[in-house]
Amino acid sequence: MAQVASNSSTSEQAAGAQGLQFLLNDKLIHLNHCPPTQTVLQYLRTEQNLVGSKEGCAEGDCGACTVVLGELNHQTIADERAVRLRAANACIQFMPTLDGKALYTVEYLRQASGELHPVQQAMVDCNGSQCGFCTPGFVMSLWSMYLEHQANNTQPSDIEVRTALSGNLCRCTGYKPILQAGQAMFDLPSVNFDHVKLGMQLNALQREEPMTLPSISAARIDKNINDSDVTYFYAPKNLAQLITLRTAKPEATVLAGGTDVGLWVTKQLKSLGDIIYIGQVTELHQLQRTDQGLHIGAAVNLSDALQLIAKHYPQINEQWQRFASVPVRNAGTLGGNVANGSPIGDSMPWLIVLGAQVHLTSERGERHLPLEDLYVDYMQKSMHADEIITAITLPLPKPLQRFATHKLSKRYDSDISAVCAAFAIELDHNNMITDVRIAFGGIAAIPKRATKAEATLNDQPWSEASVQAAMQALAEDYAPLSDMRASAQNRAQSAANLLYRFYLETRTEQPLSVSQLSVFNHEANT
Amino acid sequence: MSTEQSLSHAAPHESAALHTSGEATYIDDLLELSGTLHAALGLSEQAHAIINTIDLSQVTASEGVVAVLQAGDITGINDCGPINQDDPILADGLVQYIGQPIFAVVAHTLEQARMATHKAKIDYTPLPALFTPEEAQAQQHFVVPPMQCVQGEPAKKLETAPHRLQGTLKVGGQEQFYLEGQISYAIPQEDNGLHLYCSTQHPSEMQHLVAQALKLNKHQITVEIRRMGGGFGGKESQSAIFACIASVCAQQLQRPIKLRLDRDDDMMITGKRHCFYYDYDVGYDKHGRIVAAAVNMVLRAGFSTDLSPPVAARAVCHFDNAYYLSDAQIKASCGQTNTQSATAFRGFGGPQGALAIEMIMDNIARELGEDPLTIRKRNFYGKTTRNVTPYDQVVRDNVIHELVAELEVSSDYAKRQVEIKTFNQSSPVLKKGLALTPLKFGISFNVVHLNQAGALVHVYLDGSVLVNHGGTEMGQGLHTKIAQVVANELGLSLTHVKATATRTDKVANTSATAASTGADLNAMAAMKAAHSIKQRLIKVARTLVNDSQAEVIFADDTVQCNADHWAFSELVQLAYEQRVQLWADGFYKTPKLNWDKDAMKGNPFYYFAYGASVSEVLVDTLTGEFKLLRTDLLHDAGEALNPAIDIGQVEGGFIQGVGWLTTEELVWDARGKLMTHAPSTYKIPAVNDCPEIFNVQLFENSNREPTIMRSKAVGEPPLLLAFSVFFAIRDAIASVSNYEINPPLDAPATPERILNAVTQARSQASP
C-alpha cells in the first residue's frame, strides 16, 4: 500500500530500513514494506489501479506489460548521460528492485492537454492497434526508443525499430503498421522529456545505506508475528556488505535481473524466502576493458555487457540481437545467465570458447575459474553455498583466432536455442590447427566443450577431411535429448552442420562469406 | 465529412486512441466490486483415467481459500459443449486429457487460489489413451461419424487417369494465442440473476450454457462483452467452461467471482486449431489438369465434439480451393484423442482443406517439370464452364484469373523466378524459393440458420446515436464498420455514432461472431434499423414542409427537405415532440443458402472471397533456417467498408498463417502432455518475421451479391495467403534436387522439418 510519509517505528530502524522509494509517473512513492516478490505489474494493477499495463504471459515473453524504467547510469565508463530510460517487463520485475528508480507506465504518456503523445498518435495514424491488448506494451517500447533518439536528435533505422520491438508480441496486425508507426512518430511535433530534472530527482533518491525491506508492516512485526512469516529484501550497496549477508544467509535467494527468478514466482509459484539483491552493489557494475581483457561485473545488464563485448567480438552481433529481447536484456545480466547454468543459456558456449573466467567471491576471498569448469552436471555447479559470482572476464581477441557462434531456434526473435554453437580456432601459416575450442549449448545437460571433436582437430590441417572427422567425433561428445525444440537426431545433425558451416567460413581456400552462409545476414534480393 | 466519406474512408479503429493510451477497458481492468473473490482451476495430470479419490483437504486449508468446488456443486447440467453434450464443466469421475479442469478453488486473491490448486491429491486409474489422428483412425475412434462429399465418378476416373499421384501429408494445429487470456467475471444479481462479463465471441451461447449449468432461465442471465483482447476463434466455444465455472462459483457463494486464466493454464485447458493428417490420391492429364481426386482427412478432434463437425465440413468444402474438380471424393473424420478439444481458429478447417490441394498442385508441377503456377492456373475454376464445386454450388463470382494475372505482373513473378534459379546455381548453402498461391474462401456459416443477425439503433435527443448489435469486437474493427454504416445511412459524421458493448439483454439469440460474417450480418441489421428511423424522420420532415412527396436528404449532419434544412439533432427533437419512435431494431438473414449436411450438397455459401500471394524465401540447407524476404499480397474484399481495417485483416491474417505453417509447433509428450504451453516454448510470429518487403493491396472488385455496400467478408480468408511462404520454402528445398524431387515437407516447416526435407531431396536426387 502506498504511503506518502513514513512514521518510523522502532522495528523499522532495527531493520535498518527507511523504506522503498521510487518515482511512479513523476510522483514519489514511499513503501515501508512490500512482499519481496510482488511484481511491478501486480502492484500497478491491484494497488494503483493503473491497468493500462497488461498481463499476457507473466514470464517476460509477450511484452504486454512493458513499462519504462529510468535509472542512474552505474557504469564506470561514464560516456553517456546520467539517466537511462529503458523498457522493462513489469510482470517479472520485483517491486523492491525499483528503489531509487523512476517507473513510467502507459498512463504517463498522454499530454496535459489530453492530446496523445506522438508515439500514440503515430500508432493511431498507422492503424497499429487492432484488439489493443498488446498496444500499451508496444507504445512503451516505442517510447523508450523515441526518448533515446530524441535526446540524440537521430531517427532509427528499420532494423533498430525491429530490435526495439523484439520483446513485444502482437497477434493481430502482423507488425507492419507498428513498424511504420516507429518511424512516423518522429514526423509529428515532438514532446520533450527532461532528463536533467529526472537525474536530479533520482540523485536525491539514492541512499548511502543498504536497504532492508520487510514483507509486512512494522506494526505487524511489532505484534510478535512469527518470525518465519516475515521475509526481507536485502539490497546491499557494496561488495563487503553483500559477502557478509551471503555468509549470514546462505539460504536466501540471490537476485540480479530477475528474468529467470521472476518466473520461479509467477510460474512455479515458489516462495523464495529472503532475497539478496545484487543490483545496488557498486563493484558489481564494473564494465570495462582492462589490459587483461574485458571485465563484466555480475550486476551489469546484458544490453550493456553485450554492447561492450560486441565491440571487440563483432561475431556475437547476431547472438546479441537474438538474445531474448530488449526488455529482458535490459534487466537480465550476463552473471545471471552464467550463474543459472541452464543447458540452454545462450552466452555460455561462446564465453567458453573465448576463454572466459568466472570470479567467485566469499568471505574466504576471490577465486577464478574457467567458465567450463563451473558446470558439473545438470544444474550443478562447482560453487560453494556462500559464494557469489562477482564478475566474468574475457580475454581480448587474439590476432590469429577465428571465432563464430550460432544459435538455432524456431524463431529469430526471443527464442530458446535448440542448439547453440561456438567455435574458436587458431591456424598457423601452414594451415595447421594450433588451438581449437568448440562448445555447444542445448545438446547436453550442461554447456560443454566438445573435447573429442577438438582432439581430432588439434595439430591437423584445417581441411575438409579434418572437419568431417570432427563432425563424426561430435557424436561421441554429446548424446542430445529430444524435446519440443528439436529431436535428438536433428540436434546432432545440426551441431555437425554448424561445425561444417564454421569450416566453410574459415577455410583457407575459397572461404564463404557470412552473407553466403546465414539467411539472417543475407542482403535481401541481391 | 461527407456522407460518402463516413462510409468508405479509412477511419481508424474506434478504440485506437484508447488502445494506445491504455484506457481501453478489458474485463480484468474493470474496477472490482468489493467482495470479489478469485478462482483458479485444478487440472488433470492424466490423459485418460478414472478418478478414484480426490483429497482436497490441503487445498481447503491453504491460505486465503474460501471454497473449493467440484462437479457435484453444479446445480444444473454439468456440460458446456456447443453441439454435443460431451464437454463436462468439471471432470466427474473421468478425465480425458492432461489439463482438464477437475475442481475450482475460490480465494481472496488470485495468487492464493493458484497456489492452492497444486495441493490436491488425486488418485487415478489410467486408461488407454490415443493422441494422434493416425491412432484415432486406426482405432476408428471418432467424435462423430465420418463425412464425405462425392462428385462424379472419382474411383473410375482415377483408374483411367493418364497420371496418378498418391501421398500423405501432416499439418499441425495452432494455438490461438489471443493476447488477453480467457476471463470471466460473474456477479450475482437480485432474484437469483447473474451478470457475466465474459471475453467471448459468443455471448448468447455463454448465456445459454450458464443458464443450463445454473438451472435458471436465460432471462435471468446477462452476458456482456465490450471488447476482447483477441479471439481468433479461441473464444467462440472455449470461453464457455470459464463462463460456467465462474458463474457456478458466484451462484454458490453469492459473491462476485473473477476467473482469469494464467497463460499456461489457458494453453493447457483450451482447444486449438485442428491438426490434420491427409491421405490423397489424384489422377491428372499430361497438362497437369486434375481428372479425379480422392482425399481422406483425419482431424485431431481432441476428447470431445466441440465444433469439430462443422470444422471438418468446412475443410471438405475447401479442399477444392480455387480449382475445378470434376470427380472427387472428399472424406473427413474427426478422430477422438485424449488431448484438448480442438476448436475454431480463423479459417475453421478451410485453410487445412485447401492446403492439401496446394500440396497436390505443387507435386504435379514437379512431376511434369512445369512451374507450379502454370499447373495452378490450368486447374482454376472456369467462369462459365468448369465452375461447379464438388458440393454442387456454382461459382458465379470467380475473379481468380484476373486477380492472379495482376499479382503476377505487380510482383514481377516471372523475372524473379529466373533470377532465383540463377542465384541458386551459384549459392552452395543458401537457396532461394518463390511461390504464388491463390485462395477462394466461402462466406457464410455452413449451418444455414446461424446466418441471421439483429441490431438496435437508438437516436438520442442531442442527435447522438448508439448502436447495439449481436456481433462482438475482438480487434477486427466490427464496431468501427458498423458505426460507419449507420453514420452513412443517417448522413452523420462518425463522431455522432457509437457502437457499444455487446449484451444479451439488448439483442437476443445472436450467432457467434465467426465465419468472417460479423460485418456481413450485423452491419446489414444495423443499417436496416437505422433505415427505419430514417424513414420516420423523412415523414416528419415532409410534414414540416407540408409536401408528402418531397425529397429528403441526410448529409453532413443535416437534413434537407425542399428549401428547409435542420441540423440532424433539431429534426430529432422535432420528431420527439411529435411522439415519433426514435429507436428501431433491424434484422437480417442471408438469402440463397441451403445445405444438406448428410449428402454434403447445396449452396452453403452466399459468395466467395478471393486472393493470391507471392512469397520469396531464403533457406539455409545446413540448418533448415529460413527467412521470408518478400511478400506481395492481393486480396478481394469487394468494395471495402474500411480499406485501412481490411488491409489490417489481410496483413494480420497472412502473418498468422505464416506462424501456423512455420514457427508455431504444438508438441505433446509421450504421456499426452502439451509441452508448448507458454510463449517461451510456443513461438507465434514476432516482429522480425514480418518481411522487409511487404506489398499489400486490395483487389478492385465489387460483390455481385447485394451484401452490405457490396463489401466482402475479410476476417478469415487472408490466412490462406500464407500458403505462398510454405511452398516457397518447398521450392527452395527442391532446388537441391534440381527441382526433380518433391521434398516431403509437413507443416509447420520448422528448421528440423526443412533440414530433413533437404536431406531427403539430396539423397533422392539424380547424380
A453 close to A477: Cβ distance less than 8 angstroms: yes
Q: Enumerate residues 6+ apart whose C-beta is below 8 A from B616.
A: A525, B416, B420, B432, B433, B434, B628, B629, B630, B631, B728
| Of the candidates B411, B407, B351, the residue with the CA atom closest to the CA atom of residue B377 | B407
Alpha-carbon distance A497 to B261, whole Å?
42
**CATH number for the domain harbouring residue B537:** 3.30.365.10
Q: Give the DSSP letter of residue A69.
A: E
Contact residues for A509 (Cβ-Cβ < 8 A; gap 6+): none
| Residues B341, B285 share a domain | yes
Task: Please indicate, yes or no, whether residues B471 and B377 belong to a single structural domain of this protein.
Answer: no
pLDDT averaged over every residue in chain A: 92
Instruction: Please name the residue of chain A whose CA is at the shortest distance from the CA of residue B180.
Output: A56
Longest dimension (CA), chain B: 91
Residue A270 CA from chain centroid, whole number: 22
Closest CA to A298 of A415, A414, A160, A392: A392
Q: What Å distances lie between residue B120 and B41, B265, B671, CA to CA?
A: 11, 16, 20
Q: Specify the number of domains making up chain B.
A: 3
Separation between Cα atoms, residue B156 and residue A368, nearest integer Å: 78
Q: Which of A136, A411, A517 sits opposite B22 (nearest CB)?
A: A136
- Strand partners for B167: B280
Asked if this assembly's ipTM is beyond 0.90, the reply is yes
The candidate with the shortest Cα–Cα distance to A520, out of B617, B416, B158, is B617
Shared domain for B648 and B748, answered yes or no, is yes
3-state SS assignment for residue B314: helix
Is B145 contained in some domain? no
B161 inside domain: no
Residue A229: the pLDDT is 79
Angle between helices B643-661 and B350-368 (to 10 degrees): 70
Q: At B3, is the pLDDT very low, low, confident or very high (cuts 50, 70, 90)?
A: very low
Report the sign of the C-alpha dihedral through residues B643, B646, B650, B652, in that order: positive
Residues B428, B458, single domain; the answer is no
DSSP B345-382: -TTTTHHHHHHHHHHHHHHHHHHHT--HHHHHHHHBPP
Range name among A131-135, A290-294, B336-340, B558-562 with the lowest pLDDT average: A290-294
Check: CB of residue A109 under 8 Å from CB of residue A139: yes
* HEC letters along B240-258: HHHHHHHHHHHHHHCCCEE
Non-local CB neighbours of B543 within 8 Å, separated by 6+ positions: B578
Query: Are A316 and A310 a contacting pair, CB within 8 Å?
Result: yes
The answer as to whether B154 is a domain residue is no
Q: Calculate mean pLDDT across residues B537-541.
A: 98
For residues A101 and A105, give the distance between their C-alpha atoms in angstroms, rounded to a whole number: 13
Say what the alpha-carbon torsion angle B425, B431, B437, B443 is, to the nearest 10 degrees: 180
Cell numbers placing B657: 498463417
Taking an 8 Å cut-off on Cβ atoms, the answer to whether A130 and B475 are in contact is: yes
Q: Is residue B158 part of a domain?
A: no
CB A349 within 8 A of CB A421: yes
Q: Which three cell numbers, joined as nine digits, stand for B384?
A: 462459365
d(CA B84, CA B307): 9
For the segment B47-52, the average pLDDT, to the nearest whole number, is: 98
Average pLDDT in the B92-116 region?
Answer: 98
Does the pLDDT value for residue B750 go beyond 50? yes
Q: What is the pLDDT of residue B5?
A: 46
Copy the grid coordinates of residue B672: 499426452
Tell me, yes or no, whether B330 and B470 share the same domain: no
| A129 with B474: Cβ contact below 8 A | no
> Over the Cα atoms of chain B, what is R_g?
27
| A3 band by pLDDT with thresholds 50, 70 and 90 | very low
Is residue B231 within 8 Å of B201, Cβ to Cβ?
A: yes
B165 occurs within a structural domain:
no
Bridge-based pairing state of the strands A20-24 and A102-104: parallel
Phi, psi of A115 (to 5 degrees): -70, 150
Same-domain pairing of B569 and B605: no
Bigger pLDDT: B136 vs A226: B136
Question: Is 60 exceeded by the pLDDT of residue A6?
Answer: no
Same domain? For B751 and B684 the reply is yes
Which residue's C-alpha cell is 504517463?
A: A108
Residue A46 CA neighbour count, 13 Å, CB half: 17
Closest chain B residue to A495, measured at CA? B623
Minimal Cα–Cα distance from B140 to chain A, Å? 28
Vertex A179: Cα angle to A173 and A181 (nearest 5): 95
Tell me if B160 is assigned to some domain.
Answer: no
- Taking one residue from A and the other from B, the number of pairs with CB-CB distance under 8 angstroms is 274
The answer to whether residues B609 and B722 belong to one domain is: yes
pLDDT tops 80 at residue B699: yes
Residue B103 falls within a domain, yes or no?
Answer: yes
| Final residue before a domain boundary, out of B589, B616, B631 | B589
Distances (CA, A) of A303 to A71, A324, A407: 14, 11, 18
Residue A171 in this model has a pLDDT that exceeds 70: yes
Confidence at B4, pLDDT banded by 50, 70, 90: very low
Do B604 and B665 have their domain in common?
yes
Q: What nine digits make up the cell of A77?
A: 565508463
Rounded CA separation B764/B767 (Å): 9
How would you label A159-177 residue by residue, b for 16+ Cβ within 10 Å and e otherwise? eebbbbbbbbbbbbbbbbb
In tens, the pLDDT along A33-91 reads 999 999 999 999 999 999 999 999 999 999 999 999 999 987 644 444 479 999 999 99
Domain end position, chosen among B239, B269, B299 = B269
The helix-helix angle for B751-764 and B723-734 (nearest 10°) equals 40
pLDDT at A342: 87
Cβ–Cβ contact A324 with B under 8 A: no
pLDDT band at A228 (very low <50, low <70, confident <90, very high): low
Q: Are the C-beta atoms of A17 and A34 separated by less than 8 Å? A: no
Q: Report pLDDT digits (tens) over B398-412.
A: 999 999 999 999 999
C-alpha distances in Å from residue A86, one per residue of A68, A90, A207, B618: 5, 12, 22, 34
Q: Spell out where B444-471 has E strands.
A: 452-459, 465-469
Mutation pick from B182, B615, B623 vs chain A, by most beta carbons of A within 10 Å, is B623
Q: Hunting for cell 494497488 — which residue is that?
A: A47
Q: How far is CA B601 from the centre of its chain?
A: 23
**With contact defined as beta carbons under 8 Å apart, do A234 and A245 qualify?**
yes
User: Are B694 and A176 in contact (CB < 8 Å)?
Assistant: yes
**Mind telling me how many Å the CA of B201 is from chain A's nearest CA?**
13
Which chain A residue has its CA at the smallest distance from B654's CA?
A174
Residues with Cβ within 8 Å of B640's Cβ and at least 6 positions away in sequence, in order, are B8, B646, B698, B711, B714
Out of B589, B612, B639, a domain closes at B589
Cβ-based contacts of B657 with chain A (< 8 Å): none
- Tens-digit pLDDT profile for residues B478-518: 999 999 999 999 999 999 999 999 999 999 999 999 999 99
Which structural domain range is residue B68 located in?
A: 32-128+176-269
Q: Per-residue pLDDT tens for A340-380?
A: 888 888 999 999 999 999 999 999 999 999 999 999 998 88
Q: Cβ separation of A486 and B477 shorter than 8 Å?
A: no
CB A26 within 8 A of CB A108: yes
Report the range of poorest mean pLDDT among A335-344, A359-368, A408-417, B532-541.
A335-344
Cβ contact A494–B648 (<8 Å): no
Element spanning A176, H or E: helix A176-184
Residue with cell 495430470: B45
For residue B577, tell me if it sits in a domain: yes
Average pLDDT along chain B: 97
Instruction: Mutate one of A55, A171, A229 to test the B interface: name it (highest B CB count within 10 A).
Output: A171
pLDDT recorded at residue A2: 37
Chain A residue whose CA is closest to B30: A51
Q: Look at residue A525 in the predicted model and tell me its pLDDT.
A: 37
- Domain match, B442 and B471 both: no
Which of B31, B179, B647 is the best substitution to test chain A (most A C-beta atoms within 10 A)? Answer: B179
Based on the domain organization, do B573 and B665 belong to the same domain?
no
Q: Answer whether residue A177 shows pLDDT above 50.
A: yes
B393/B480 same-domain check: no
- Among positive and negative, which fits the CA dihedral B758, B760, B762, B764? negative
pLDDT of residue A403: 97
The per-residue pLDDT for B38 is 98
| Predicted pLDDT at B500 | 92
The full set of domains in chain A, from first to last, is: 10-107+197-277 (3.10.20.30), 112-190 (1.10.150.120), 283-395 (3.30.465.10), 401-516 (3.30.390.50)
Question: Are B180 and A56 within 8 A, CB to CB?
Answer: yes
What the block records as the C-alpha cell of A285 is 557494475
- Provide the CATH number for the domain around residue B119: 3.90.1170.50
Cell (9 digits) for B534: 430514417
pLDDT value of position A341: 84
| Predicted local confidence at residue A224, as pLDDT | 65
B180–A131 CB contact, under 8 Å: yes
CA dist A61 to A32, A65, A261, B173, Å? 31, 10, 14, 21
Q: Which residues of B are catalytic?
A: 716
Which residues of B are less than 8 Å from A411 in CB distance?
A: 663, 683, 685-686, 689
Count of C-beta atoms within a 10 Å radius of residue B543: 16
CA A320 to chain centre: 10
